[in-house]
Amino acid sequence: MPYRPFEGQNCSIARTLAIVGERWTLLVLREVLRGRRRFQDIRRETGVAPNILSDRLATLVEHGLLRRERYGEHPEAFEYHPTRKGADVAPILWALLQWGDRYAAPDGPPVIVEHRACGHDAAPRMHCSHCGEPLEPADVAIRPGPGALAA
């Protein structure tokens, strides 16, 4: 399917998908956030073709989600490290994981997210930043923000 940008959409979701919405991109980020830094390690864990992996890594570096660091001269080799911007994608991945566990894992979750500090299973939850109450879709309203267009 050819890439078509989300031109004309004043939407943060569309802008995010323009960066991380290509097939394989979130899986590449998953691996880097799990500590896999080298091209061959990411490729082995995802099964992505080398040309596609090169493209996705370049996009993530270009948009500041990963930084590329040389670790070898002959042959030239690089590692990929998450930036703060890249690490901030983790809650999106956890939410996708939770949805997938609920609706797309008939034999149960393939992995469990564990809170290292206490050793218990952890699940992402949205909470109000003011009162701390858990949020469900019916609990929120959407209103124009400072970046909204006049129309």
Q: How does pLDDT run across 27-46, given as a tens digit for each residue?
A: 999 999 999 999 999 999 99
Report if pTM > 0.85: yes
Q: 62: domain CATH number?
A: 1.10.10.10
> What is Dmax (Cα atoms) for the chain?
57
Average pLDDT (112-138) is 92
pLDDT of residue 1: 47
**Residue 91 domain-assigned (yes or no):** yes
The model's confidence at residue 64, banded by pLDDT at 50, 70 and 90, is very high
The model's confidence at residue 134, banded by pLDDT at 50, 70 and 90, is very high
Q: Where are the alpha helices (DSSP H) in the chain?
A: 12-20, 25-33, 39-46, 50-62, 84-87, 90-103
Average pLDDT (118-128) is 91
**Residue 134 domain-assigned (yes or no):** yes
**Residue 7 domain-assigned (yes or no):** no
Percent helix, percent strand, percent coil in the chain, to nearest 5: 40, 10, 50
Range of the domain at 95: 12-139
The model's confidence at residue 3, banded by pLDDT at 50, 70 and 90, is low
**Residue 119 domain-assigned (yes or no):** yes
Average pLDDT (103-130) is 93
For the chain, the straight-line distance linking the first and the last C-alpha, in angstroms and rounded, comes to 32
Pick from 78, 80, 69: nearest CA to 28: 80
**Residue 32 domain-assigned (yes or no):** yes
Count structural domains, the chain. 1
**Residue 2 domain-assigned (yes or no):** no
